[in-house]
Amino acid sequence: MIKKMSTAQPLKKIVSCVILDLDGTLLNTDGIVSDVLSVYLGKYGMQWDGREIQKIVGKTPLEAASAVVEAYGLSCTTSELLSEITPMFSNQWCNIKALPGANRLIKHLSGHRVPMALASNSPRENIETKISYHQGWKESFSVIIGGDEVRLGKPSPEIFLEVAKRLNVDPSSCLVIEDSLLGVTAGRAAGMEVVAVPSIPKQPHLYTLADEVINSLLDLRPEKWGLPPFQDWIKDTLPLEPWHIGGPVVKGFGRGSKVLGIPTANLSTEGYGSLLSEHPSGVYFGWAGLSKRGVFKMVMSVGWNPYFNNTEKTIEPWLLHDFDEDFYGEELRLIIVGYIRPEANFSSLQSLIEKIHHDRKVAEEALDLPLFSKYKDDPYIKSST
């Protein structure tokens, strides 16, 4: 029998219900927003700057449209912009994917009969349409409230206080899970406990109002709030629905072997922007197939490597084998089967190196388990060899 991970978590506060935001918290809407605004702004000969998303995250559609008009100096009015892009968004709702950990969290809380509510600045009709594409979501929520059903949207606490009223619970017994600063501010103003899951990368320091900041829903520990713990961690790893990525090995930053003493086989992220946006930064593990050498265990980081402060999100796999030579240009295919931890910063290079070697140990032991070892024969990585 495989022993589950049972690391004790310090209790923060006991809560009785969970209130979730939708866009950016449960659903990966950022990619859709970028696609739609890129097309629209292209008509004006302008290019959507992904960094501008910070100005619209968590806002009502009207507020977000107003911010876009102002940021780009558009000649149209806010109403004209909304009337043109609203159908464009509506056509994309069916393509929005659940963020990693969203289905797991909803199923877990629902299975344990923990009351859940959905509170979003989006109009109620849009909320209903979006969640209709995700099986089991609508019936899991005791209360659903849209931004058009309250006088003031977030950062006003009104929407959260209305949820508490409808659930017939005290606001202080509610846990809010939010991705935006507006949502975090609203939750705190409502007197609720707040966990922030920032949808904008590299900015956790801005979420000082939150009671806890986590990297993704994969890192949520419900037991910290007196809720039933997840039981799916196995030997310090979280099994995932497998995903694939591949391409020729490219030269990286030159620090793997030289600085860390850890030879990583870097993959180009070109063409994988949408895939990378679907998966939170962190440390993962799985199997790697090299076209001329075979299949090997691997552990990899996805993200910005805070210690080195990367400007771009990268994929840096470490193939757990001693190679006699470099293999730049060879086709490398990966199947990612599990998650170890969120990406973190370190006070020293030595502590970073020690953690990476610990990640290797965790990955090597996990990949010997039948649950993970079976993927060594996955057709995707086998076809590369």
Per the residue annotation, which of 21, 30, 158, 378 is the catalytic one?
21
> Does residue 320 contact residue 363 with C-beta atoms inside 8 Å?
yes
* 23 a catalytic residue: yes
In angstroms, rounded to a whole number, what is the distance separating the alpha carbons of residues 84 and 124? 20
Q: What amino acid occupies position 258? A: K
Q: Closest by alpha carbon to 89, among 58, 121, 127?
A: 127
In angstroms, rounded to a whole number, what is the distance separating the alpha carbons of residues 365 and 89? 45
Per the residue annotation, which of 23, 63, 179, 359 is the catalytic one?
23
> Does residue 355 contact residue 311 with C-beta atoms inside 8 Å?
no
**Greatest distance between any 2 Cα atoms in the chain:** 67
Q: Which two tokens stand for residue 267?
A: 């993959």
* 316 a catalytic residue: yes
Query: Within a 10 A sphere around the Cβ of 156, how many other Cβ atoms?
Result: 18
* Ordered strands of the 17-20 beta sheet: 143-145, 116-119, 17-20, 174-178, 193-196, 212-213
* Residues counted in the chain: 385
Per the residue annotation, which of 30, 178, 193, 316 is the catalytic one?
316
> Does residue 56 contact residue 199 with C-beta atoms inside 8 Å?
no
Report CA-CA distances (Å) from 324 to 229, 263, 293.
Answer: 45, 11, 11
Q: Which residues pair with 193 in a beta bridge?
A: 175
Which residues does the annotation mark as catalytic? Answer: 21, 23, 316
